[in-house]
């Protein structure tokens, strides 16, 4: 299998990069530097084994696939221009199996920094709406993003929560107060004459500040984070808003208690009829024990529909699992079990078990 991957033209660069990262010291950044330009390179690979039970038959679908296969680079040009570019070949090998689907561009944006309080971004980027949607997939509390955070992805013609547009962002009050707001493509009608999509996000960090493009989930005991935030997303008559509290608390000289609570309201109205009016909740809990490099976690989420004709779609998800960090987020194993429980007696509950091996470096 590895021979085929190495012989494939589109995987040659990925394989070479992974070998360099694997064989070389992880403390040394792969970078290009001169007087005006500073560019660094990275990679993320998440290989999954997944067993998902059908709510109709009770049978399990079994898949071994590459959940994420990302190559990325970013850097600075002078003092006030920066950029980030990332490709991905998501769900490679998942049923219906296709090993030649090819890479997509996931992030591609340029940032002009006027000052710390105002920066202007342009390109394809994460839509600033909810904290979990702005987190790095390398450090989720769970094995992956929650389903309640991706409800608007398809209807708004987003690509993995990203959209084309312009965004202003900045940091105030010693970088503790941050904002992001932007104008995005969204879903376009046949003549592209419908309204554009607008989104915004406001967050206050009480302790450690977060000035990067993507936020952390777990900090593995290295930062003290308490963030309170809210966001909105709208296009036409579609409206969504979010509220979130995230906390990473270092304890016992290297351990961490992690908590994330998120509320998201979606209402597609006549603009996106595929998004019924709903109120969704997510609670994630995790404890990192640094001496054994393990982090058990648990999560519960609920999707609650408002209208009587959609109440039968209400469901809850219960998850638990364990991360084992061979070398932090650079190399880790994860095992997670999920139980999906519809509130309607006409539907059956289902199980899902997922195993992940992650390689990450940037």
Task: Tell whether 54 is covered by a domain.
Answer: yes
Position 3 pLDDT exceeds 70: no
What pLDDT band is residue 28 in, cutting at 50, 70 and 90?
A: low
Q: Calculate the average pLDDT of the chain.
A: 92
- Taking only the tens place, the pLDDT of each residue in 337-348 is 999 999 987 789
Q: What are 109-116's contacts with CB under 8 Å, separation 24+?
A: 109/83, 109/84, 110/81, 110/82, 110/83, 111/81, 111/82, 111/83, 111/84, 112/80, 112/81, 113/79, 113/80, 113/81, 113/82, 114/80, 115/170, 116/170, 116/171, 116/175
Share of the chain above pLDDT 90, in %: 85
**Does 23 map to a domain?**
no
Q: What is the pLDDT of residues 264-313, one digit of tens each?
A: 999 999 999 999 999 999 999 999 999 999 999 999 999 999 999 999 99
Residue numbers of the domain that contains 305: 38-361
Q: ∠ CA(117), CA(122), CA(123), 5° rounding?
A: 145
Residues 332, 358 contacting (CB under 8 angstroms): yes
**Does some domain include residue 108?**
yes
**Lowest-confidence range among 1-15, 79-93, 197-211, 273-287?**
1-15
Whether 15 is in a domain gets the answer no
Does the pLDDT value for residue 24 go beyond 50?
no
pLDDT band (50, 70, 90) for residue 56: confident
Per residue in 194-207, pLDDT tens? 999 999 999 999 99
252 Cβ contact list (under 8 Å, min separation 6): none
CATH number of the domain that 151 lies in? 2.40.160.10
Q: pTM, whole model, 2 decimals?
A: 0.89
**Average pLDDT rounded to a whole number, residues 39-68:** 95
pLDDT of residue 12: 42
Q: Is residue 26 part of a domain?
A: no
Please give the residue that has the higher pLDDT: either 34 or 232: 232
pLDDT in tens, 170-187: 999 999 999 999 999 999
pLDDT tens-digit readout, 105-120: 999 999 999 999 999 9
Confidence class for position 61, pLDDT limits 50, 70, 90: very high
Burial (CB < 10 A; 0-12, 13-18, 19+), residue 314, is middle
In a domain, 8, yes or no: no
Q: What is the per-residue pLDDT for 18?
A: 40
Number of domains in the chain: 1
Q: Give 61's contacts (C-beta < 8 A, 6+ positions apart).
A: 50, 51, 52, 53, 54, 95
């Amino acid at each position: 299998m590895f021979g085929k991957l190495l012989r494939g033209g589109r995987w040659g660069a990925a394989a070479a990069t992974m070998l360099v990262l694997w064989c070389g010291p992880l403390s040394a950044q792969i970078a290009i530097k001169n007087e005006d330009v500073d560019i660094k390179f990275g990679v993320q690979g998440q290989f999954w084994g997944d067993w998902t039970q059908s709510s109709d038959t009770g049978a399990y679908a079994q898949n071994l696939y590459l959940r994420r296969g990302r190559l990325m680079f970013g850097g600075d040009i002078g003092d006030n221009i920066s950029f980030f570019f990332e490709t991905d070949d998501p769900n490679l090998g998942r049923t219906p199996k296709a090993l030649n689907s090819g890479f997509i561009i996931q992030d591609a944006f340029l940032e002009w920094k006027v000052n710390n309080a105002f920066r202007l971004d342009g390109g394809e980027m994460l839509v600033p709406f909810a904290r979990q949607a702005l987190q790095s997939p390398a450090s989720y509390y769970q094995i992956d993003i929650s389903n309640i955070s991706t409800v608007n992805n398809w209807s708004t013609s987003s690509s993995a929560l990203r959209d084309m547009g312009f965004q202003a962002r900045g940091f105030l009050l010693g970088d503790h107060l941050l904002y992001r707001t932007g104008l995005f493509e969204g879903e376009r009608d046949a003549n592209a004459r419908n309204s554009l999509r607008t989104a915004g996000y406001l967050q206050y960090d009480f302790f450690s500040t977060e000035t990067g493009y993507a936020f952390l989930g777990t900090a593995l005991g290295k930062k003290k984070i308490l963030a309170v935030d809210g966001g909105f997303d709208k296009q036409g008559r579609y409206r969504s808003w979010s509220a979130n509290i995230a906390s990473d608390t270092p304890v016992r000289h290297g351990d961490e208690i992690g908590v994330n609570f998120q509320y998201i309201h979606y209402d597609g109205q006549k603009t996106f009829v595929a998004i019924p009016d709903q109120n969704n909740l997510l609670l994630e809990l995790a404890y990192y024990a640094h001496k054994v490099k393990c982090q058990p976690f648990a999560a519960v989420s609920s999707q609650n529909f408002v209208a009587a004709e959609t109440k039968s779609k209400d469901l809850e998800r219960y998850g638990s699992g364990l991360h084992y960090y061979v070398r932090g987020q650079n190399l880790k194993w994860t095992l997670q079990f999920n139980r999906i429980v519809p509130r309607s007696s006409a539907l059956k509950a289902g199980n899902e078990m997922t195993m992940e091996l992650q390689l990450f470096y940037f």
